[in-house]
Amino acid sequence: MYEAPLEKHSVNIREVVLGDGEKAKKIGGENTFPFHFFEGTLPNPPGLALEFLDMQPENWTAWTLEPFRDVVSDPLKWAGKCVGEYGAEILCLRLLSTDPMGRDASPEEAAKTVKNIVDSLNIPLIVLGTGTEDKDSKVLIEVARACSGKNLLLGPVLKGNYQEIAKAALEHGHAIVAQASMDANLTKELNIALCKFFPPEKIVVDPTSSALGYGMEYTFSIIESIKQFGLVDKDNMMRMPIFSDVAGECWRTKEARESEEQGILWEAITGMTFLLAGADLLVLRHPEALRLIKNMIS
């Protein structure tokens, strides 16, 4: 009788811990490709984070706003609802108020918001800046300091600000999201630079994501190849868990903004596709998209 060959790999993706205490979550750790339970071990299910903002959202569609309508003016209540009502086990706080092109809130103000949440809710927290190298560097250093020892996941850490942010993360015991856009060579380059002084088991990589219909295939290929370089080629600098910010990209699309059902499916399908490619941690916006993905993978 025919037996399908099994591919075993001798190394695993590094396991990264998010948060501290009993609600801490682990991601990564697998020695095989996504959902290949027949070939290896995947000790941790993919991490699914719900996002919230540190200010009232602008330009959100009615259906992404609706689940949070009563709490959007208060980040702490918003976070609480994500956990209590929608069952999120990881949260992602986007510090939109710090955008230098927008409200340009100070690093201190942002750090205060984060600390307030961390002190009140003991749950793994991703904290994202706005992708502006200079400002993010100031903001994330302040956040790292204010929440010392809480093992946050801070990002995005880019080529132009990795030194400052990673140094603060190291000093205060946080993990980081290293972001290099759609290029495995650049992902590796940034990891090499980081690992000269930063522990690899505290790095999650973000190859940046595109939504369904807007280049999702490219993201799929790059996630897949990063995982292959790590597992098959045993490339030490490519064995980091992979992060994908699905929320931000999906809800920008015309299609997701056209109707509630379509939007939720757009986000769930994009997210699920990246999990199949090998992503270890997703950021989602709509609680229903979170529920759909949870059901699919449980």
Partner 1 sequence: MILIGEDLNVMSNTISQAIKERNPEPIRKCVEGQAGNGMDYLDLNVGPQKKDPAETMEWLVKTVQDYTDLPLCLDTTNPVAMEAGLNFCKQKALVNSASGVKESMETVMPLCRKYSAGLVLSVINDAGLPSDADERAASILESLEFANELGIENEDIWIDPVLLPVGVDQRQVLSYMEFIQMIPDLAPGAKSVCGLSNLSYSAPKGLRGLLNRTFMVIISRYGQDAAIASGFDEELILLNKGEMPEIVDLIHRAMDEEDLDISNLSQKEQEYVKTTQVLMGKTLYSNSWLEV
Give the footprint of partner 1 on residues 73-92 (CB under 8 A). none
Is 164 an interacting residue with respect to partner 1 (CB under 8 A)?
no
Beta-strand runs (E) in the chain: 15-18, 25-28, 47-53, 90-94, 125-128, 153-157, 175-179, 203-206, 243-245, 281-284
Is 71 an interacting residue with respect to partner 1 (CB under 8 A)?
no
Angle formed by the axes of helices 162-172 and 133-146, nearest 10°: 10
Is 192 an interacting residue with respect to partner 1 (CB under 8 A)?
yes
Q: Considering the complex, state which of residue 237 and residue 269 has its C-beta at the smaller distance from partner 1.
A: 237
Binding residue (CB under 8 A) for partner 1 from 10, 185, 295, 298: 185
Q: Considering the complex, state which of residue 220 and residue 266 has its C-beta at the smaller distance from partner 1.
A: 220
For residue 281, the 8-state DSSP code is E
Angle formed by the axes of helices 260-277 and 216-231, nearest 10°: 20
Minimal distance, residue 178 CB to partner 1, in Å: 13
| Cβ neighbours around 162 below 10 Å, total | 22
Q: Considering the complex, state which of residue 109 and residue 235 has its C-beta at the smaller distance from partner 1.
A: 235
- Distance, in Å, from the CA atom of 126 to the CA atom of 144, rounded to the nearest integer, reads 12
Q: Which stretch binds partner 1 (CB under 8 A): 82-90, 181-189, 252-260, 278-286?
A: 181-189
Q: Which stretch binds partner 1 (CB under 8 A): 48-56, 64-72, 98-106, 179-187?
A: 179-187
Q: Which amino acid is at 231?
A: L
Q: Considering the complex, state which of residue 134 and residue 183 has its C-beta at the smaller distance from partner 1.
A: 183
User: Residue 251 in contact with residue 213, Cβ under 8 Å?
Assistant: no
Q: Considering the complex, state which of residue 61 and residue 236 has its C-beta at the smaller distance from partner 1.
A: 236
Structure tokens at 137: 């560097």
- Distance, in Å, from the CA atom of 29 to the CA atom of 51, rounded to the nearest integer, reads 24
Give the footprint of partner 1 on residues 219-248 (CB under 8 A). 229, 233, 235-238
Q: Considering the complex, state which of residue 185 and residue 295 has its C-beta at the smaller distance from partner 1.
A: 185
Minimal distance, residue 209 CB to partner 1, in Å: 21
Q: Which stretch binds partner 1 (CB under 8 A): 188-196, 202-210, 265-273, 285-293?
A: 188-196
Q: Which helix (H) or strand (E) holds 50?
A: strand 47-53
Evaluate the omega torsion of the peptide bond into residue 241 and state whether it is cis, within 30 degrees of 0: no
Minimal distance, residue 22 CB to partner 1, in Å: 37
Cβ contacts of residue 230 below 8 Å, gap of 6+?
A: 11, 13, 238, 239, 240
Distances in Å between the Cα of 144 and the Cα atoms of 114, 148, 166 are 10, 6, 10
- Distance, in Å, from the CA atom of 162 to the CA atom of 176, rounded to the nearest integer, reads 9
Is 188 an interacting residue with respect to partner 1 (CB under 8 A)?
yes
Is 186 an interacting residue with respect to partner 1 (CB under 8 A)?
yes
Is 184 an interacting residue with respect to partner 1 (CB under 8 A)?
yes
Is 182 an interacting residue with respect to partner 1 (CB under 8 A)?
no
Q: Which amino acid is at 128?
A: L
Q: Considering the complex, state which of residue 236 and residue 262 has its C-beta at the smaller distance from partner 1.
A: 236
Q: Considering the complex, state which of residue 174 and residue 188 has its C-beta at the smaller distance from partner 1.
A: 188
Minimal distance, residue 263 CB to partner 1, in Å: 36
CB environment 186-198: b (16+ within 10 A), e (fewer): ebbebbebbbeeb
Give the binding site for partner 1 (CB under 8 A): 184-186, 188-189, 192-193, 196, 229, 233, 235-238
